[in-house]
Amino acid sequence: MNKKFRLSLGLLALSATLLVACNKEETKNEPKENNTKVEQNVEAKAEDKATDEVTLSDWDGEWNNIANYLDDPGLKGAYEEVAKRDKITEDQAKKNFADHVAVDFGAIKVDGDSITFLTGPEGDEIDKADYKLVDKHPMEHGGKTLYWYEFTSNGKYPTILLMPVHGEDHMPHFHLRVGGSAEEMLAKDDWYPTFVSPTVTIDQVYDVSSLDVHRG
């Protein structure tokens, strides 16, 4: 595995900069063709829309939690380097990354106004509910104004915050938060659960996790 990729993901484990844009560098592996609606929707950037133009269908498709890659054997070197740099154990480096992207579901499927929460890719259903857009919340980061779009439902996760799909030049992904209230979730500065297309390659996951990229 390329050392740059290993170190990039390791740096992500301790960084709160996961939220912004994707790496524009070319990957070594060509992405697989995605038969979901993910890549079909990324051209319509929700951050450029007025709130009343945004719909949940902008996130249509199947998405996997990036935490599913946490135990990939190829990340051992990244944890080793981060542990050495920051004088912590490898287990702590891994835990920092896990905490940064933690949610209690491993995949979601967005279809129109509904979201299905799954234990993992092709896993068991945890909950399914219809969501309604109620607000958007600006956040300043790196000189840019980003938006969390707030959707609510009567389901297990009454409030979900979604950032627009980005990284279409490299690997489509987005960030979300779930909880009881938007105010509670917006107060967390270092929590960026990240969901990616199920057809990504490991190298794409490493590359999009680059520290420098997410400052841009």
Q: What percent of the chain has pLDDT over 90?
A: 46
List the single range of 10-14, 106-110, 116-120, 196-200 with lowest mean pLDDT: 10-14
Q: Which residue's structure tokens are 């993901």?
A: 9
Q: Look at residue 2 and tell me whether its pLDDT is greater than 60.
A: no
CA distances from 72 to 68, 117, 132 (A): 8, 23, 36
Give the global pTM: 0.77
For strands 194-196 and 61-65, give the pairing: antiparallel
CATH number at residue 111: 2.40.128.20
- Token pair in block for residue 57: 């269908």
**Residue 61 burial (C-beta neighbours within 10 Å; 0-12, 13-18, 19+):** buried
Higher pLDDT, 92 or 37: 92
Q: 137, 178, 201, 162: which is closest to 19 by C-alpha?
A: 162
- Token pair in block for residue 133: 């857009």
Amino acid making up residue 115: I
Output phi, psi for 142, to 5 deg.
60, 30
Q: What is the mean pLDDT of the chain?
A: 77
Longest dimension (CA), the chain: 48
The average pLDDT across 22-46 equals: 43
Q: CB of 8 within 8 A of CB of 182?
A: no
The range of the structural domain enclosing residue 142 comes to 3-215
143-186 residue pLDDT tens: 889 899 999 999 999 999 999 998 777 778 999 999 999 999 99
Please state the domain count of the chain: 1
Q: 93, 74, 73: which is closest to 83 by C-alpha?
A: 93
